[in-house]
Structure 1
Amino acid sequence: MRARHQVRALYLRNLGATWFLAFRSLRRQVLGLYGSRGLSPIREQLELRARYEPRPLRRWTRWPTLLWLGASDRALVRLCRIGEASGLLLALGIAPRLSALCTWASYLSFVTVGAPFLSYQWDALILEAGLQSAVLAPGTLRLGHARTEPTQASIWALRWLAARLHFESGIVKLQSGDRTWRKLEAMRYHHATQPLPTPLGWYANQLPRRAHQLSTAGVLGVELVPPVMALMPRPLRQIAFTVLVTLQLSIGISGNYGFFNLLSAQLCLPLLDDDDLRALTPWRRRSRPRRRLAPAPLSREVAEAAVLAPFFVSSADSLLARFWPHRRPALLRRVEATLRQFHAVNPYGLFAVMTTSRPEIVIEGSNDGRTWREFELPYKPVRLNRRPPFAGTHMPRLDWQLWFAALGMIDDWFLVLMQRLLEGTPEVYALFGHNPFPAGPPRYVRALLYDYRMTTFAERRATGRWWTRDRVGILVRPTALPAGREAPSPP
């Protein structure tokens, strides 16, 4: 059996770093999104659910979150810091299994009550990967103290997750019936209409139509064929690793998807073994001698296979249902419902239907009802001459959710956002890149709907603009606070 303990170590350290980055990003936004004066206060949500379900134990199992212990602003920040610390410990290889479980429980606590800002597929993916990685991680004090190789079951569980993530992303595009995928036109629209493009996304949008057709065919091919190869013998897995990591790199440099591409790429690491890793990192081969570990004992192989079996059966049945709808046994439905409750098994599939236009919501404020100034988010296109920014692994949740809102998915949080801007709530103002009212909050706010499109090379040379836009209409008419309510000045 080929050695895989170095692959295990690299994967777990990278996962810990990703957890750290995810929690660090969330901590920057947590009070504006979920604090007592945020857009969707978690404390209010939990109080409402407690009235709906008075039995404490039932509440914990139905909505598993540590925030039942306290959801004050300080508690939210503290839980983010606990997640950061646990992720850092995992990255350093300290108490890997305990660190993985702690980060998973901390993130689950937010995702359970974090809709809609924590309802993205990568939030579910990192939870599924994290829980399975707790099985992969050795139960030693230090990662380097492990004395046996990882079990076959724990390695194959992650290979299955990597394959399923990419394959489902491809198959939903074909099953959706979307004409842009069927006619190989999807990438012609994608770079300009994706939620938060980067500068390279603007340049990719300038490619000729033939290049977009080829890249559309390439995306479908890469998401359908290499995932199958990921479950095959080693030479095919090596090819799958290279192709899938390249796909994630190309997505990550053309659009801002937070930690998604980093996480998806590192999920491909278990496709390799230690010999493959040494071939990719020759400096490691020269700097340290090869270490051999004993195979995992049969008892642990059986135990971990038994733990992971429900994950595999449930996810395999869900995937099979995409091709062959069938009535699932009652026991399987109960198991799947429990796993879904903890985000242990999730469906995947981004951009099943490609957006072909880019509606954008622009929020404006005014003190007199005549002169309006625009509120600008850090990563969304508002000013036409601003280059699309690069967010790295930061996941700007409000920027992303406003993209969905412009498509017609407006919920109560949007009206709360307008109210918080009128009130001058500092935690919400911190989510914006620029405060156009430094002396105090505006008297009125409104929301306009625009249709944005990327400029061409010629248009940008002539105007210096990266975007052009046409006004569609008024989404929210000018509104003010009720008479008599004073609004404190934001910082």
Structure 2
Amino acid sequence: MEATRRLTLRLYGLTALVAVASFWAQLPGLIGSGGIWPAALALDSQRAGGAAVLEVPTLAWLSSSDLMLHALCAAGCLASVLVAALVRPRLALVVLYVSWLSLIHVGGPFLAFQWDILLAESALALIPFAGPFPRPWARALVAFLAVKVTLSSGLVKLLSGDESWRDLTALTYHWWTQPLPTWSSVLLARLPLWAQQGLCGAMFMLELGAPVLALGPRRARLASAAGMIALQVGLFAAGNYSYFNVLTAALCLPLLDDRALAALRLWPVAPAQPRPPGRAVDVAGWALAAAMILWSALAFTGRLSAAPRPVLSALERLHPFLLNSGYGAFAVMTKTRPEIVLEGSRDGVEWTPYEFPWKPGALTRRPAFVAPLQPRLDWQMWFAALGDCGGNPWLVRAQQRLLEGAPEVEGLFASVPPNHPNFLRTRVFEYRFAPPGSPAWWTRTETGPYCPVVTLDPQGRLVRAQLP
């Protein structure tokens, strides 16, 4: 398992480096003191609510200054490099977990994605695996994470009751309604119905079948790893899901072994060395693995409430530490694509759009690949469009920061109005892929306003604009 361990840690470390560094680049405009959702304000609201340190475990309690936030990102990047370089990987994983968990708890809506939680949970799961010649139970802990993520992704779709998953037509919507489509999504959307249904069926086979094979003998485990990795490669090629696909693929690697890597010529394999005896450690390790599996199974099936009250109380206290989380996206397929178009004006008559770097906007701009990086404001705009203005206070605050001319927030956009606006408006359009042969990539139809037109009053407060 030594070669497998090294490959897993290298890929995980590089993935974590991309995740932390990508967020670090956007931090000033998102949660910095001049950003949309400052960490200091988030902690102030926690204090007002009487939250204790163990309820919101973050080093930002010591200081929520920009310096502290940058230090946490720097620590996470350094720890990721050390993991990838196999230098004190166990200690580095602890540092990565603590720094990333600290950021998640002050990141508000911008660090609440499933892959952000998975990055923290997997850092902990990898600690026993990171030592030389890991024990089988340590490998099982990591592989279980890959199985949990993949299997739950399939189960939530089947259990949601959405007919489009059951009749295998969901992908006919998915390609153009997913958060950040790519040019490959356009090509996939043009496939005939039978091909779309075939792809959907293959997805279910991999999401539901491949994880089960992980329980079998060696060849079954190898097939499980191959199936789950193939699924992640396919998802990566068809959409922009940040570093999620690479991270999940890295967690599948412990299902392989050094013989498999040697056969594939992927890694130089050193002769195996005997493991030191550790019966007590093995018993404790397998007990831990069994407890995590039972915890996940009860939580997924909704039967955790049947556990004894002391157990429930302990699990509730552990919840903020992200030790064992649930996963699964697109349980109910989104079948429309509302997009919020943000525009600024100096006079309330002529309006100029704010262009986002990656989310759909201009109809002639080709959808592009950005994963494994994640433009977090672009992503949040997709979620906001599915709700309403009142349910997304961060977007209201973003408008205030733009009217104030905050350079940190303006830096999150591909382009802003050339003349600083006095008014902002948000309109909703229904977007769809343009038909083949069209000079544009998108078509759109306006459906109405999102938030009221806003401006700043003489005291600098955001108010509804009174326009003719």
TMscore range, shorter length: over 0.9
Asked if residue 346 in structure 1 is aligned to residue 325 in structure 2, the reply is yes
- Runs ≥4 residues deviating over 6 A: none
Find 1:171's aligned residue among 133, 155, 165: 155
Asked if residue 89 in structure 1 is aligned to residue 82 in structure 2, the reply is yes
State the alpha-carbon separation in 2 of the partners of residues 245 and 426 from structure 1: 41
CA contact (8 A) 1:193 1:357 kept: yes
User: What are the Cα deviations for residues 37-63 of structure 1, in whole angstroms up to 9, with x where unaligned?
Assistant: 21111111212322333xxxx722111
What is residue 21 of structure 2 aligned with on the other side? 24
CA contact (8 A) 1:163 1:231 kept: no
CA contact (8 A) 1:151 1:296 kept: no
| Alignment map for 1:309-388 (pairs within 5 Å) | 309-319=290-300, 321=301, 327-388=306-367
Letter matched to residue 30 of structure 1: L
> Per-residue deviation at 1:306?
4.6
Asked if residue 269 in structure 1 is aligned to residue 250 in structure 2, the reply is no
State the alpha-carbon separation in 2 of the partners of residues 335 and 484 from structure 1: 48
Asked if residue 259 in structure 1 is aligned to residue 243 in structure 2, the reply is yes
**Range with bigger deviation, 180-189 or 70-79:** 70-79
> Per-residue deviation at 1:302?
2.9
Find 2:395's aligned residue among 414, 421, 430: 414
User: What are the Cα deviations for residues 314-358 of structure 1, in whole angstroms up to 9, with x where unaligned?
Assistant: 113223x25x68622223323332332211101111110000110
CA contact (8 A) 1:31 1:76 kept: no
Change (3 A) 1:67 1:325: closer
Asked if residue 114 in structure 1 is aligned to residue 101 in structure 2, the reply is no
Asked if residue 469 in structure 1 is aligned to residue 447 in structure 2, the reply is no
State the alpha-carbon separation in 1 of the partners of residues 43 and 290 from structure 2: 33
| Alignment map for 1:227-238 (pairs within 5 Å) | 227-238=211-222
State the alpha-carbon separation in 2 of the partners of residues 330 and 5 from structure 1: 42
Asked if residue 405 in structure 1 is aligned to residue 384 in structure 2, the reply is yes
State the alpha-carbon separation in 2 of the partners of residues 335 and 5 from structure 1: 35
Letter matched to residue 51 of structure 1: A
State the alpha-carbon separation in 2 of the partners of residues 427 and 228 from structure 1: 47
State the alpha-carbon separation in 2 of the partners of residues 343 and 325 from structure 1: 16
What is residue 432 of structure 1 aligned with on the other side? 413
CA contact (8 A) 1:230 1:241 kept: yes
SS in 1 for 2:332: coil
> Per-residue deviation at 1:65?
0.3
CA contact (8 A) 1:314 1:336 kept: no
State the alpha-carbon separation in 2 of the partners of residues 289 and 397 from structure 1: 42
What is residue 45 of structure 1 aligned with on the other side? 42
What do you get for the CA RMSD once the two structures are aligned? 1.9
User: What are the Cα deviations for residues 174-201 of structure 1, in whole angstroms up to 9, with x where unaligned?
Assistant: 1100111011110111010000011111
> Per-residue deviation at 1:308?
4.4
Letter matched to residue 84 of structure 2: A
**Range with bigger deviation, 92-101 or 213-222:** 213-222
State the alpha-carbon separation in 1 of the partners of residues 163 and 329 from structure 2: 16
Change (3 A) 1:277 1:335: farther
SS in 2 for 1:450: strand
CA contact (8 A) 1:187 1:212 kept: yes
> Per-residue deviation at 1:293?
4.1
CA contact (8 A) 1:176 1:352 kept: yes
> Per-residue deviation at 1:151?
1.2
Identity %: 38
State the alpha-carbon separation in 1 of the partners of residues 264 and 316 from structure 2: 41
CA contact (8 A) 2:170 2:200 kept: yes
User: What are the Cα deviations for residues 244-265 of structure 1, in whole angstroms up to 9, with x where unaligned?
Assistant: 1111111112111111000011
CA contact (8 A) 2:2 2:272 kept: no
**Range with bigger deviation, 288-297 or 225-234:** 288-297
| Alignment map for 1:36-185 (pairs within 5 Å) | 36-53=33-50, 59-138=52-131, 146=132, 149-185=133-169
Structure 2: any 5+ residue segments left out of the alignment? 463-468
CA contact (8 A) 1:150 1:296 kept: no
State the alpha-carbon separation in 2 of the partners of residues 137 and 204 from structure 1: 39
SS in 2 for 1:364: strand
State the alpha-carbon separation in 2 of the partners of residues 150 and 304 from structure 1: 11
State the alpha-carbon separation in 2 of the partners of residues 117 and 329 from structure 1: 35
State the alpha-carbon separation in 1 of the partners of residues 217 and 53 from structure 2: 43
Change (3 A) 1:19 1:296: farther
> Per-residue deviation at 1:296?
5.3
> Per-residue deviation at 1:388?
0.6
State the alpha-carbon separation in 1 of the partners of residues 399 and 91 from structure 2: 42
State the alpha-carbon separation in 2 of the partners of residues 361 and 195 from structure 1: 12
Structure 1: any 5+ residue segments left out of the alignment? 139-145
